[in-house]
Amino acid sequence: MEVEPKKWRRWLFYVDIVVVAVLIIAIVFLAQDAYWAGYWHGSNEEIDYLWKIARDVAFLTGALAWLFYRFFKNEFEVLRHPW
């Protein structure tokens, strides 16, 4: 089954919107978890928040990798076909 290019671009646009939302949510959770890890510094609670920070960084890394890939791929397409 072949997907039309217009429909494929629309689907990728929706995926990009979801990835941006994940990026924003991950940034908010990263700030919150970093605050609580600092608040509980030196106790057993700190370890839980450090694991949450690792989770947030993983989501940030994935979202940023996707966005950079899409940006540079589209930039390459524009440079290859400028008109």
**1: which DSSP letter?**
-
pLDDT in tens, 40-54: 888 888 889 999 999
pLDDT at 83 over 80: no
Q: What's the residue count for the chain? A: 83
Q: Is 23 within 8 Å of 61 (Cβ atoms)?
A: no
pLDDT in tens, 14-65: 999 999 999 999 999 999 999 999 888 888 888 899 999 999 999 999 999 9
Domain assignments of the chain as residue spans, ordered by start: 22-75
Can you give the C-alpha Rg of the chain in angstroms?
A: 18
pLDDT at 3 over 90: no
In the prediction, which pLDDT does 45 show?
80
